[in-house]
Structures are given as structure tokens and as C-alpha cells.
Structure 1
Amino acid sequence: MTKLVLLHKPGSPYDDEPDAVYDFPRAYLRAVEEAMGDWVIYYEPVKAGHRGYFAVARISRVIEKPGVPGRYLALIEPGSFLPFDVDVPRLAHGRPMERALSEPDGTPKRGGVVQSAVRRLPEDEFAAIVNVGLPEDLEEIEARRYDPARSEVDEPAAAFERPVVERLMRRPYRDVAFRRRVRAAYGYRCAMSGLRLRNGGGRPEVQAAHIRPVLHGGSDAVRNGLALSGTLHWMFDRGLISVAEDCETILVSRNKVPDEVANRLIRPGCRLLLPSDPRDAPHPNNLRWHRENVFGQGIDGSDLPWG
């Protein structure tokens, strides 16, 4: 197996959905086939944006693109995609993170392999990039984020170096990474109430909700998340509220949610608050799944707190 870097440009004309599928030409088929079952890192080229290396995922299999001779699709293993906590620039101290992109003197190359959409990535470089984008102690960073007194009093945890790939698959670690990115994308505001509440210690009260649960094929992409208050998160998971086909109008199950409750909890106009970066906006396919599989289904009105 082989690890890869995959170039992804926002607004690409190809059928790229980083958490689901990567569209590529025949020229890269051998390299991508070698990577089946292994991990890849997504990279946004300089001319397309500023993110650099921005996410990790694992390829499950490769198929021919239906109806398009000479193009192929790398299918991403469900539940493997994870955005980096911080985007990783292509240069570290003026030198490329990938040795293949360096001249003998360490300066960046121009043209050639730099422009390749698919690049093989040695294990040590994969680990180095992931360790910057997703720090090993991310869970501890989050735990201490709003509790400075804890860092002063608690004894430091014993050092334990967990293998990178093992860390990427741990659900508690992934939950922390997902929560941090989703809440930041929405500016720590609830997407449905518009409120940005913090407790006495400055900790945001807003939660990160998966639109399509991981157990039902959803990913940890920001586009599969909504920042919601605790009550609205509960209502969303139980199908009492959802988002319409326009990806902005908030839907309410009016036969189960009294108007006075909806009016108190949801922002005027029932319009979803969207992230400032459109790349983080909820994906229409995820919202459609929620409407068709969760909204208005499976909850007995007698069990509702206002029933």
C-alpha cells in the first residue's frame, strides 16, 4: 500500500467530494490503486486557495467513472475522512513538507511534480503533516482550553505516543476534532437560534451535531455538521426540526412543536445561519438524508417535554 497527496481545488469541474469520492484521470491510476486501503492527505494548491494540506481520508476502492472513458473514481472509506484542526502550509521554515518538492538545496521546486494532482507520500512525511494538522494531544488541548486553572494544578499526563493511524480512527479523538472545526466554522453561534452563549468560564455552550450520523454513513466533514444549542441539537436528532431543500429554511414539525416553542428557540425568519466560509456550508446531500430519514419520523408526541 502507498500513501498519497491528492490535490483538490474548490469549485473543481470534476466530481470531487473529499469525504466521499475523488475524480482523477488514467495517468494516476496505478498510484491510486497502490493506495487502496491506505491513507491520503488532501492538499489545496497555492493558486486555488490558502489552505495547503487540510484533511486526511482512506481510499477503499477504485472504479471506472461511469460514462466517462479515461477517468476513475477513488471511493473514500466511510467514516475515515477527517479535516485537520489547523491547515498545514506546504512550507515549513521555507522548505516544502514533501521532500519530492524540494531542490537539492532545500528550496521549493517549480513546475513538474509540484503540479501533479496525485503524489506518493513517504510514511514519515505523512506522519509529520498529520501531527501538525491533528496534534496528538488534541483532546488534552480541548480539555484545557477553557480551564486555565486546570493546567496550573493538574500534573502533566504521562507521555504516550500513539501511532498516527490508530489515533485517526479513535472515535473520541475524531469527536473532539469534529467539534472544534464545526463550532469554529459557525463562529460558536447556534445555526438555528443565532445565539452565541458562553458559560462563566468562557466555554461555548453550542454543540456540534452530525447531520447524517456516522453510524448511518455520515462523515466527520464540517459539511456534515451543524453548530446547535443543546436543545436544538436534541430536536434535530429526533426529527423535530430540519433544513429545507434550499439549504437555508429551517423546517419545524408543527404537529409536534408548538408555535410558541419554535418562536422562542429559532431565529426570526426561520433562516439557517451559515458559516462565513461557503466551503463549510452544509452539503445538500446530507440535509436531504436528514429530511428523508429523520425529520418527522420515529418520535411519540407524548414523550416531548412540552407535551
Structure 2
Amino acid sequence: MVKLVLLHKADSIYEDEPDVVYDFPRTYLKAVEAAVGDWVVYYEPVKAGPRGYFAVAKIERVIPKPGVEGRFLAMIEPGSFLPFDREVPRLIHGRPLETSLSEPDGTPKRGGAVQLAVRRLPEADFARIINLGLPQDLERIEAARYDPRPAEFAEAADVFHRPVVERLMRRPYRDVAFRRKVREAYSYRCAMSGLMLRNGGGRPEVQAAHIRPVEQQGSDSVRNGLALSGTLHWMFDRGLISVADDCRTILVSRNKVPGDVVDRLIRPGGELCLPKDPQNTPHPENLRWHRENVFGQIVETGPTPWG
């Protein structure tokens, strides 16, 4: 097994869904097959957008692309995709993070390997990029974000440096990374109420909801997330609300949710507040899964937040 960098362009002819599948030509088949069972880092070149290295995932298997000669699909292992907390540039202080893209003196190479859509990534380079994009102490950074501890306490607390791959698979770490990216994408505003509430210390009230739960093969992509207030998150998870196939209209189980509750909780017009960046809008397939598998189907036997 080997680790790879996979080039991704949002406007490419290749039909990539980074958290689900990577579409590539036969040229790279052997390289991608060698990476089955191992991790890859996604990279968006500067000419296509500003993101640089932006996410990590694990390849589960490779299959021929149905109906397209000479094209293949790398299927991403469910639950492995994770967007970076901080997007990482290809060059830092003028030097590439990938050793294969460096001249002996450390300056960037031109042409050749730089233009490859699939590149082998040594373990040391992989760890360096991951640590820049997903810091070791991300959980502590988030915990102290709105409730800073005294400086002397913070300095005394050592970060437990877990191996990179172990950290990538830890659910608590992934939950923090997902929450930070989803809330940021929605500018800390609830997608359904339109409200942006903060407590006295500045902590956002809004939560990050998975549209398709991780245990149901949902991913930690921002496109599988919605920023929701606590009550609306509870309602969404229990199938009392969902989103229509236009990816904008909020659906309400009217026989279970009183009309006055809808009027208080859902923004006028009944449409989602969407992220400014179209790349972060909810994926239609995730919303379809929620409508078909959750909306109107979960019986709630306990008390309701408005009861």
C-alpha cells in the first residue's frame, strides 16, 4: 500500500465526489490500485481555486467506471473522508511540502511530477501535511476557543501526540473537526431559523448536524452537514423536519409539529440559509437519504422541546 496525493478540480470533466468516489483515467490505474486500503490527500491546484491540500480520505476499492471506456473509480471508504481544518498551500516559505516536487536545493520543480493528477506521497510528507491541516491539538483549540484557560494552565497541559492515522480515525477528534467546518461554512447561523445566537462568552449556539449519520455510512464532509440550533437539530434527527428535493425548501411533519412551533422556529419563507461557498451546500443525495429514511418515520415517545 502507498499513500497518494489526488488532484481534484470542482469544474473538471471527471465526476469526483471527494467523500465518495474519485474518477480517474487508466494512466493512473496501477498507482491508485497500489493505494487501496491506504490514505490519500486531496489537492486543488491554485489555478482551479485557492484551497491547496484540503482533505484526507481512504481508498476502499477500485472499479471500472460503468459505461466509460478507460476510466476508473476509486471508492472512498465510508467514514474516512475528513476536510482539513486549515487548508494547506503547496509551498511554504517557497518550498514544496512534497519532496517529489522539490529540486535538490529545496526549490520547486517545474513541469513533470508537478502536473501529475496522482502522485505518491511518502509517509513523512503525509504526516507533515496532515499535521498542518488537522492540528494535533484541535480538540484543545476548540475547547479553549470561547472559554480560555489561564495561560499558565494552558502552557502546562501537554498535548498527547497520537500517531497520525490513529488520530484520523478517532471519533471525538473527527466530531470536533466536522463541527468546526460546518459551523464556519454557515457563518455560525442556523440554516433553518436564520438566527445567529451566541452566549455571553461569545460561544455560538448553533450545532453541526450530520444529514446522513456516520453509522449509516454518512461522511464528515461539510456537504453532509447542516448548522442547526439545538431544538432544530433534535427535530431533524427525529424526522420531524427535512429538506425537499430542490435542496432549499424546509419540510415539516405537520401532523407531529404544531403550527405555532413552526412559525417560531422556521425562518419566514421556509427556505434554508445556504453557505456562501457553493462547494459547501448540502449534497442532494444526502438530503434524499434523509427524506427517504428519516423524515416522518421515527416515532418519538419522550417529551418534546415545546411540550
Q: What is the Cα deviation at residue 150 of structure 1?
A: 4.7
Query: Counterpart of 1:127 in structure 2: which amino acid?
Result: A
Specify whether residues 164 and 300 from structure 1 end up closer, same or farther in structure 2 by C-alpha distance, changes over 3 A only: closer
Does structure 1 residue 178 correspond to structure 2 residue 178? yes
Q: Is the 8 A contact 1:78 1:217 kept in 2?
A: yes
SS at match of 1:148: coil
- Between Structure 1 and Structure 2, how many residues are aligned? 307
Q: TM-score, normalised by structure 2?
A: 0.97
Moved over 3 A (4+): 149-155, 300-307
Residue 166 of structure 1 and its aligned partner are, at CA, apart by 0.2
**Counterpart amino acid of residue 56 in structure 2:** V
**Residues 1:201 and 1:302: Cα distance change in structure 2 (over 3 Å):** closer
Deviation of 1:12 after TM superposition, in Å, equals 2.0
Match of 1:134 in 2: 134
SS in 2 for 1:180: helix
Structure 2 counterpart of 1:87, one-letter code: E
| 1:68 CA displacement | 1.1
Residues 185, 280 of structure 1: 8 Å contact kept: yes
Q: Tell me which amino acid in the other structure corresponds to 1:239.
A: G
1:208–1:225 Cα contact (<8 Å) kept? yes
Percentage identity across aligned positions? Answer: 77
What CA deviation, in whole Å up to 9, does each residue of 1:40-69 have, x standing for no partner? Answer: 000001110000000000001111111111
Alignment of 1:1-307 (within 5 A): 1-153=1-153, 156-300=156-300, 303-306=303-306
Task: Tell me by how many angstroms 1:149 deviates.
Answer: 3.5
Give the residue type in structure 2 aligned to 1:143: A
Paired AA for residue 36 in structure 1: V
Corresponding residue SS for 1:125: helix
Deviation of 1:155 (Å):
6.2
In the aligned structure 2, how far is the partner of 1:155 from the partner of 1:113? 42
Q: Distance in 1 between matches of 2:242 and 2:213?
A: 14
Q: C-alpha separation between the residues in 2 aligned to 1:169 and 1:20?
A: 17
Return the alpha-carbon distance in structure 2 between the equivalents of residues 80 and 206 of structure 1.
25
Q: Distance in 2 between matches of 1:166 and 1:143?
A: 20
Name the TM-score, length of structure 1 as normaliser.
0.97
Cα 1:273–1:108 change in 2 (3 A) is same
- Is the 1:197–1:206 contact (alpha carbons within 8 Å) kept by the matching residues of 2? yes
1:6–1:41: 8 Å Cα contact kept in structure 2? yes
Tell me whether 81-90 or 11-20 shows the greater mean CA deviation: 11-20
The Cα of 1:302 is off from its aligned counterpart by 7.8
